[in-house]
Amino acid sequence: MGVDPSEIPFSLGTLFKIIIERNIRAVCSLNEIDAGDGTRIKVIATCRTESSFEVDKVKASLSYFSREDPKLFTKRIAPEKWR
C-alpha cells in the first residue's frame, strides 16, 4: 500500500493522504474525508502532478479497505488553473 509500519498510528486523513500521494507520486491535500456511518469512506483530494498516474494502482491500494471494488473518480485540471 505504500505505508511504512513505523509511521503508524495515523489519523484516518493522514493514512489516506499518504496512500494516495505515494501511489501517484504527487503532493496532495485532503479537501474532505467522511467516514459516514462506518460502511463507506469518501475522500476528496487535490493533487499536483505533472504526469499521468495509474488509477488501477490507487484502486488496488484502497481495495484493502473495501469489500467491493473501490470507486475512484478523477478530474484533471490544466496547470494554468492552479495559479
Q: What 8-state DSSP symbol labels residue 65?
A: G
For residue 79 the three cell numbers come to 496547470
Whether the predicted pLDDT of 6 surpasses 80: no
> Which of 6, 19, 25 lies closest to 66, judged by CA?
19
What is residue 82's predicted lDDT score, i.e. its pLDDT?
A: 53
Whether the predicted pLDDT of 17 surpasses 80: yes
Share of residues in the chain with pLDDT > 90 (%) = 4
What is residue 79's predicted lDDT score, i.e. its pLDDT?
A: 66
Contact 31, 45 (CB under 8 A): yes
pTM for the structure as a whole: 0.72
Whether the predicted pLDDT of 62 surpasses 80: yes
